[in-house]
């Protein structure tokens, strides 16, 4: 079986979960052709990401003339099909308010179809219900293989109409959500007849990479928060909550791992609240460096306002670290209050500050108990080889049904 993965920008530091999924499929004997539209803009510090980039066929690197020719070459062979694809692209452009961009997606789709023809790909799979899925849908409309796609959230669920999310599900061989919450959101926009084709396949971790988690460190409580510095991740709220918590726990320390557009604002707020001795900003780190930071921490904090189901929560739990997170999206399906960590309402700085104090005042043995339970739960639910097996079965079933 040969599958084409259609992606927007890949690889990126925040997309290691896609790389793990692809590698797990390849371990099962499935050939994966990587078809991102463009490379990411962030520097690739992780060797695994750099190796992935070498294996990608970047569609936009073919240039505008070759993309146009790829489409025009199909017109005399299947004029009716091409016309229907043009109409579909224009309809999608009308919905999104960007007809010109939709026609560009059509040209990208023509190149995707051409590569799939040459590579003899039996199926297209996209990640995120945004433009990569649009390209996959249009490639299928041009006569390419059927498609599926994985939605992660929250972006797709913030703009379901402009993304034509329901239509994408209805036309797909199947759609994937990474949590039961995600499946419920897709069901809101898809026709009832498509509900049975909405599958839950979790993002996964590689258990071997967490085979022997280090015990919790001794000494003052160290917290870690990992993610892009953007509004929805809630780091600004966390800094404000930390300022309140250190009044009661003066030796509390937080490592903010990541980077992004809000870095300057975060640095200013840390300085304003006189937290420079309590907060370290590390920038983006390799996977090995992130694991080292997790091992040096007592718990992960994820104060997000909106999420899908964050990989960093899974990695922290696999490292036997409890998690303090917010009641958003699929997070409560994994983090259980009192058993694997703490959950607080999103956006509530007082609740977050109190939870930080409660965490810091939890005895070392209590944190250890929560961490061990967290590890057991995530290994049961998010083994990447098990989840890739589910995805591979869906691929095989969908291809067989269309044969």
Tens of pLDDT, residue by residue over 176-214, are 999 999 999 999 999 999 999 999 999 999 999 898 899
Give the per-residue pLDDT at 198.
98
Q: What domains sit in the chain, N to C, each tagged with a CATH number? A: 2-204+383-402 (3.40.50.2000), 210-381 (3.40.50.2000)
In the structure, what pLDDT confidence band is assigned to residue 9 with cuts at 50, 70 and 90?
very high
Query: Which residues are within 8 A (CB) of 269 and not within 5 positions of it... i.e. 6 or more apart?
Result: 236, 239, 240
For 356-371, write each residue's pLDDT tens digit: 999 999 999 999 999 9
Q: In the predicted model, is pLDDT for residue 293 greater than 90?
A: yes
Look at the block and give the residue holding tokens 């994994």: 334
Per-residue CA distances from 15 to 81, 117, 128 (Å) = 34, 27, 11
- What string of DSSP letters covers 304-320? -SS-S--HHHHHHHHTT
With the C-alpha atoms ordered 164, 166, 167, 168, is the resulting torsion angle positive or negative?
Answer: positive
Q: How far apart are CA 229 and CA 257, in angstroms?
A: 9
For 324-348, write each residue's pLDDT tens digit: 999 999 999 999 999 999 999 999 9
Q: In the predicted model, is pLDDT for residue 10 greater than 90?
A: yes
Give the per-residue pLDDT at 402.
86
Q: How far apart are CA 58 and CA 67, in angstroms?
A: 12
Nearest alpha-carbon partner for 329 in 159, 130, 179:
179
pTM for this one?
0.91
Query: Which pair of tokens denotes residue 330?
Result: 């699929």
Can you tell me the mean pLDDT for 68-75? 96
- Round the CA-based radius of gyration of the chain to a whole number and report it: 22
Give the per-residue pLDDT at 47.
87
Half-sphere exposure of 224 (CA within 13 A, CB side): 27
């Amino acid at each position: 079986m040969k599958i084409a993965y259609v992606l927007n920008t890949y690889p990126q530091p925040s997309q290691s979960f896609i790389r793990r999924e692809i590698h797990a499929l390849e371990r099962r004997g499935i050939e994966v052709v990587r078809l991102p539209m463009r490379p990411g803009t962030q520097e690739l510090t992780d060797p695994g990401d750099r190796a992935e980039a070498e294996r990608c066929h970047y569609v936009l690197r073919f240039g505008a003339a070759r993309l146009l020719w790829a489409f025009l070459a199909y017109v005399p062979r299947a004029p009716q099909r091409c016309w229907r694809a043009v109409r579909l692209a224009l309809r999608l452009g009308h919905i999104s308010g960007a007809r010109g961009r939709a026609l560009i997606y059509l040209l990208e789709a023509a190149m995707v179809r051409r590569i799939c023809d040459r590579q003899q790909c039996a199926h297209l799979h996209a990640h995120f219900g945004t433009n990569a899925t649009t390209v996959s849908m249009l490639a299928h409309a041009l006569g390419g293989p059927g498609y599926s796609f994985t939605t992660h959230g929250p972006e797709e669920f913030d703009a379901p109409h402009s993304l034509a999310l329901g239509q994408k599900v209805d036309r797909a061989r199947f759609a994937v959500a990474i949590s039961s919450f995600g499946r419920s959101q897709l069901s809101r926009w898809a026709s009832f007849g498509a509900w049975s084709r909405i599958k839950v396949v979790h993002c996964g971790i590689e258990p071997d990479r967490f085979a022997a988690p280090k015990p919790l460190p001794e000494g003052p409580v160290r917290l870690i928060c990992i993610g892009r510095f953007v509004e929805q991740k809630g780091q600004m709220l966390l800094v404000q909550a930390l300022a309140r918590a250190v009044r009661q726990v003066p030796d509390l320390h937080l490592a903010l791992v990541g980077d992004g557009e809000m870095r300057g604002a975060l640095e200013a707020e840390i300085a304003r609240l006189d937290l420079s001795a309590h907060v370290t900003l590390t920038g983006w780190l390799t996977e090995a460096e992130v694991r080292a930071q997790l091992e040096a921490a007592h718990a992960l904090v994820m104060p997000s306002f909106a999420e899908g189901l964050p990989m960093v929560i899974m990695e922290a739990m696999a490292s036997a670290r409890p998690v303090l997170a917010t009641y958003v999206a699929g997070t409560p399906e994994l983090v259980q209050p009192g058993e694997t960590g703490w959950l607080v309402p999103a956006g509530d700085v007082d609740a977050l500050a109190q939870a930080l104090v409660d965490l810091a005042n939890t005895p070392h043995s209590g944190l250890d108990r929560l961490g061990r339970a967290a590890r057991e739960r995530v290994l049961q639910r998010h083994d990447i080889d098990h989840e890739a097996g589910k995805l591979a079965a869906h691929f095989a079933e969908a291809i067989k049904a269309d044969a």
